[in-house]
Structure 1
């Protein structure tokens, strides 16, 4: 008999800043809503192990969606007339639009890399409406990742982006996990990773916003891999210093993509934070 995974997926028509978008959403489990945000240039397949983890899904309704232009979501009508460049404002608008369309109350948001960055703004902007955030590889300010070859006519974009991000994995991580992430990145649309990195390196700066996060209203847990040189542990520690009551753990022998590069090790760090999020 075939093994059928407990993940269901569907498309939603969502209005984001007065533009219609066709967004792919997948989920598994029941309980506390846990909305997961993928990394730059990738898609929600990075969370497939989480959505297949019964110890998680028996308490959490794990919801993952592909951002516009990413994975199985479509770009908006007329996409060929513009270059894709993500801004903080657009990112927050997309997340809020999907969240409101789903109709879930007091969710937990978990994001990695650019998703780990934007959850800091979510915690700041929506702290009265959410249960908490789990930031994976979270920085409030992370310049330096951009380079001009991320979308260049002389370079194979898919292989460049996939290999550029390969180096962010820990050497200890299983090759199968790292290869899965490579494959997802290789399928990114032309210029999409570049557009995300423009947000990450140039547009995003939450250093002032994080000072207003009240952890008595919105729980904050941060997890950063010891081998991450895009968002180093020191960069996350700088965030922790500005948020009283924030929880932080450096994940030994993990890189920038914990949920896909080495899920079995990652879950040993994640489970205590999910317990914390679930506690009243």
Structure 2
């Protein structure tokens, strides 16, 4: 029997985030420039499995994908399981900065998708000196609410199936079925109210439009990549962001809202040149 063992290591770290003890799970592979990957709302770091397993990337980058508190294998802090969860921009920035500090990362590259693609704008605005570069996937300054998020956490609705269905609708129909299935399965495993709580940041608290003018792209390079098949963050949304910041945008044909997860091989063809440019810079 042939067994393939992936070169990915998963570990836990006991970290105080804003004074509260947390047990945070992360996976990593490779050596070199730190590349911290931020998952989407309601999911976890497994979305970056292809980046973690790509030898062309891990030859030069130490890829790290951590699960936010309440997501994946990172549990809620003690005594908070029954609390209503709402992610704010302040909480999100603190989580990322604390993880990078705890891991003693020297000016890492941070790549985030969806809510992660939004929070990199806050990192650029508030802590540009801390990062070598920032990569926004499916990144926009805001999104207009287009559905009632209360349906995601109701006792008379199967929240896990609903989360999976919403994720499914955001993926490109040309993405391989096996990867679309795995992507929505991750969503169906999320804790109650977690997806809804993340969307509080994405749809309300994280509106970045008034702060875009304060971002200095000469202080930290920002790279934007957006899949063409996405009604949550359309190419037009990312184009408006790119034009406002005065930077370029790569539109990825045939990809949807979860490019790194729904069609990993196609996504990597767009990511590798960006990482090469960052490394060369």
Partner SS state of residue 240, structure 1: helix
Give the distance between the partners of 1:121 and 1:146, measured in 2 at CA. Answer: 25
Cα deviation digits, residues 150-196 of structure 1 (max 9, x gap): 11111111111011110000011000110010110010001100101
Shift of 1:143: 2.7
Cα deviation digits, residues 100-128 of structure 1 (max 9, x gap): 10000111000000011101111111111
Give the distance between the partners of 1:278 and 1:209, measured in 2 at CA. Answer: 28
Shift of 1:146: 4.8
**1:85-96 correspondence runs (5 A):** 85-96=86-97
Give the distance between the partners of 2:152 and 2:138, measured in 1 at CA. Answer: 21
Give the distance between the partners of 2:222 and 2:102, measured in 1 at CA. Answer: 24
Which residue, 144, 152, 156 being the options, matches 1:154?
156
TM-score (norm 1): 0.97
Partner SS state of residue 34, structure 2: strand
Shift of 1:145: 4.7
Give the distance between the partners of 1:223 and 1:249, measured in 2 at CA. Answer: 5
Shift of 1:50: 0.7
* Partner residue, 1:112: 113
Number of residue pairs matched by the alignment? 279
Shift of 1:242: 1.9
* Partner residue, 2:237: 235
Shift of 1:132: 0.8
Cα deviation digits, residues 170-228 of structure 1 (max 9, x gap): 01100011001011001000110010111111111112333222222211110111111
Alpha-carbon RMSD: 1.1
Cα deviation digits, residues 10-41 of structure 1 (max 9, x gap): 10111111111100011000111000000000
Partner SS state of residue 242, structure 1: helix
**1:121-132 correspondence runs (5 A):** 121-132=122-133
Q: Structure 1 residues 155 and 81, CA, compared in 2 at 3 Å: closer, same or farther? A: closer
Give the distance between the partners of 2:82 and 2:182, measured in 1 at CA. Answer: 32
Indicate conservation of the 8 Å contact 1:146/1:201, yes or no: no
* Partner residue, 1:250: 251
Q: Structure 1 residues 145 and 92, CA, compared in 2 at 3 Å: closer, same or farther? A: farther
TM-score (norm 2): 0.96
* Partner residue, 2:190: 188
1:218 aligns with 2:214: no
* Partner residue, 1:165: 167
> Which runs of 5 or more structure 1 residues have no equivalent in the other structure?
none
Range moving further from structure 2, 210-219 or 39-48:
210-219
